[in-house]
Amino acid sequence: MTIPQKETLIYFKKIDKWVSAVEYTEDGVILTFDKNTPNETILLFEKIKDKLDFKVKEYTISSI
């Protein structure tokens, strides 16, 4: 078992609770954030997404 990257731990502690849907593709995951996600959370995600232990293909913010 490998130790997760620091950014992955941050994702699961501070960001994952704001994700309302996940779609798995061959090119990585597509995340949909809840429409009430704080801007600070999106900015933090932008900062760490390329260092996560999983590939993020794209993300959107729900309009519903």
Is 2 a residue whose pLDDT tops 90? no
Binned at pLDDT 50, 70 and 90, residue 34 comes out as very high
Q: Taken in order 21, 39, 53, 4, is the CA torsion positive or negative?
A: negative
The CATH code belonging to domain 6-61 is: 3.30.70
Residue 61's contacts (CB-CB under 8 Å, 6 or more residues apart) are 32, 33, 34, 35, 37, 42
Query: Do 8 and 53 touch, CB atoms closer than 8 A?
Result: yes
- When computed from its CA atoms, the radius of gyration of the chain, rounded to whole angstroms, is 12
pTM across the whole model: 0.91
